[in-house]
Structure 1
Amino acid sequence: MAQKGESMIPKGCSFVRPISEGAFGQVLELWEKSTGKSYALKLIPRLTEADQKRAEREVSLLERFRHSRIVGLHKSFVIGGYHGIVMDLGKRNLKDLILDFESRNELIPLEVAVQIGIDIAEGLCVMHNSSPHAITHGDLKPENVLLSEDNRAMLCDLGAADASGVNTSHSAKEIGTFEYNSPERLDDTDQRGTPASDVWSLGVMLHRMVTGKPLFGVDR
């Protein structure tokens, strides 16, 4: 049976499996015949102008930030009402790693947690030191941190990223993920966030990795 989105796979690639599906689209694993490599295909529906801008912003930032700690862009295209973004494929994301250890009542080894934290910080440093304006990730959480075979981390899902301090038509409560949002983003202002709010999110993730428990309440 064909999977949803399988008909939009670029020429020269074959469908492997669905990876995830969320509010902003779905992600599939592809295999490229010419290179023998696997990639992630993110399909973002272009239903509204906001959808289009989100996809175009993510592609623009991935093209701009060519760095080992930020997911690499392979190609992008528009087809059938969707914007397709072909990117590096991680073995899993940080949430998968966290839940794997917690299911066994074990903690992630400290040296692994520290290295992941350093990798995330390096990726954020590239974004935050961008010129002429700092770029904030805006939705930093374990699901948006990909891990390689040896657990080296790279940031992904830059669709919520934007220039630091830029107001939007969305409430801060509608941007990002509650458990990882900084306090200033949970008031009634339309603040997308600052580099400091990304650092807060990193701190919450580090707490989860080294203690095995969410910083605030129960993980959703």
Structure 2
Amino acid sequence: MKVAPPLLLLPIWASCFPLLSNARPEPLFSTISAPALSPEYKPTSPVSATMAALSPGVEDERAQEHHHLDKKLLIPLIFTSSALGIIMLSLLCCWVCRRKNSKNSDPKSIRSSALGKLNSLKTTGKKVPVSVFDYQLLEAATNNFRESNVVGEGGFGCIYKARFDENFLAAVKRLEGGGQDAEKEFENEVDLLSRLRHSNIISLLGYCIHAETRFLVCELMQNGSLETQLHGPSHGSALTWHIRMKIALETAKGLEYLHEHCNPPVIHRDLKSSNILLDSNFNAKLSDFGLAVTSGAQNKNIKLSGTLGYVAPEYLLDGKLTEKSDVYAFGVVLLELLMGRKPVEKMESTECQSIVTWALPQLTDRSKLPNIVDPVIRNMMDLKHLYQVAAVAVLCVQPEPSYRPLITDVLHSLIPLVPVELGGALRITESAPSIGPNSSSH
């Protein structure tokens, strides 16, 4: 806020100068000009003149009395003028603040402020702390949370596309209700994402708390979630074999960062296709860290949380949670990519069947494996690559955690299957052979 320059106070002090000039009291003896004297006027008697000459202290006493009276009037005047100056300065500050608030309430000003804040986060990189956004800022960017701006739904609310500028979009995750569990997950996610920095982990730009509603502002992933791509209206038609392997590889990279490069290690605890987000180039990033925990002995009997179909058996039955629980969930995601099936599907009866139970007997049989592959990609891959991916998936979903590989081993087994231009080590020299006729589908 700009402070008023000292010259603004000049009129206040200048107005006091006339008062100060008139502050001196009338002299005890009036000075009368010579023309006004009467001809009969007689000067002071010689005796008086002699007494004055012999008593010079009398004049000094009169001068001190005049000076004392000047001080008595000058001090209140200085105090009054100072008070007036302070009042005028306060009024000026209030006026400036009101102008500033009025300006900030304008939607255009809000968008401009958001752009500056978000551009700062983009350019300065890892060291920038998470920002706290004003509710009015998010309201303006989402067009008052209009339904047409909804791009996804979570466990506690919707995700909105937010436009802060023509060239910059973000995603606003709105969390409503949910009680103490939702509040705890919100705080946990803000805390973790403010510390996690990786190309395959979603970037948290900021958050907002408005009354009982909480908001997370993250980078926008234009192609939504892997779940939407696989099981939505397109049924995986945009996901070629190589793009699916790229998504699997980048998901493994994100998990390896959590398990191997964070101190202490982080267990995601809710890895699933809906929490793997895809940008415009189908780059994959892990999201939704509300249930994530740090690895340690205290997590052996942690409260059971997760999504049916992705939860590892030892965690579901015994409450034992380790990094291998994330590896199991990754294996389920890998099966989704291979077969295009949901992790849990309803049978003709009221019972449900998991993709793991259904697929395991066929994954280990090379004659049956080609027939359970998603028809969208059935003729796109090399047969040897299919067998290798199936073998990785089988190892990841083993019931016994000790039989599952580390995520680092999974990562290195997938790199040779992804083309160089997509981040892997595969150099494509010729088209992949067909793996068989389009026999049975889902």
Report the TM range for the smaller structure's normalisation: 0.7 to 0.9
What is the 5 A alignment of 1:3-82?
10=138, 13-15=141-143, 17-33=149-165, 36-45=167-176, 48-82=179-213
Note the C-alpha offset of 1:140.
Answer: 0.7
One-letter identity of the residue aligned with 1:203: G
The residue number in structure 2 matching 1:201 is 329
- Counterpart in the other structure of 1:185: 315
TM-score, normalised via structure 1 length: 0.81
- 2: CA distance, partners of 1:8 / 1:46: 20
Distance across 1 between alignment mates of 2:171 and 2:300: 31
Matching residue of 2:267: 136
1:154 matches 2:285: yes
2:311 corresponds to which letter in structure 1?
N
User: Any conservation in 1 of the 2:207–2:215 contact (CA below 8 Å)?
Assistant: yes
- Among residues 229, 243, 257, which one is paired with 1:112 in the alignment? 243
Report the CA distance between 1:27 and its aligned residue: 1.5
After TM superposition, give the deviation of residue 51 of structure 1 in Å.
2.4
Alpha-carbon separation, structure 2, partners of 1:180 and 1:209 = 14
Cα separation, 1, equivalents of 2:239 and 2:292: 28
1:90 pairs with 209, 221, 226, which one? 221
CA distance in 1, matches of 2:338, 2:216: 33
What SS is found at the alignment partner of 2:142? strand
Q: Distance in 1 between matches of 2:211 and 2:336?
A: 40
Higher relative contact order by CA 8 Å / sep ≥ 6: 1 or 2? 1
Distance (Å, rounded) in 2 between the aligned partners of 1:214 and 1:160: 22
Choose between structure 1 and 2: higher strand proportion. 1
Tell me how far 1:185 sits from its aligned partner.
Answer: 2.0
Does the CA contact (< 8 Å) of 2:276 and 2:284 recur in 1? yes
Identity among equivalent pairs (%): 26
TM-score by length of 2: 0.43
Matched residues in 1 for 2:339 and 2:280: separation? 23
Aligned equivalents of 2:177, 2:234: Cα separation in 1: 37
More helix by share: 2
Amino acid at match of 1:31: R
Measured in 2, the distance between the counterparts of 1:9 and 1:168 equals 42
- Per the alignment, residue 3 of structure 1 pairs with none
Q: CA RMSD in A?
A: 2.8
State the shift of 1:183 in Å: 1.4
Q: Give the unaligned 5+ runs of structure 2.
A: 1-134, 347-352, 355-442
Change (3 A) 1:38 1:196: same
Q: Residues 14 and 212 of structure 1: is their aligned pair in 2 closer, same or farther, counting only changes over 3 Å?
A: closer
CA distance in 1, matches of 2:228, 2:288: 16
**Does structure 2 retain, via aligned residues, the 8 Å contact 1:107–1:211?**
no
Alpha-carbon deviations, 1:172-197, whole Å to 9, x = none?
2xx1111111111221x344x32111
Answer whether contact 1:107 1:209 (CA < 8 A) is retained: no
CA distance in structure 2 between the partners assigned to 1:145 and 1:41 by the alignment: 17
Flag the 1:178–1:9 CA change in 2: closer, same or farther, 3 A. farther
Which structure: larger Rg? 2
Report if aligned partners of 1:117, 1:206 keep a CA contact under 8 Å in 2: yes
CA offsets per residue over residues 123-170 of structure 1, 9 Å max, x none? 111111244321111111110000011111000111110112525663
Contact 2:229 2:238 in 1 (8 A): no
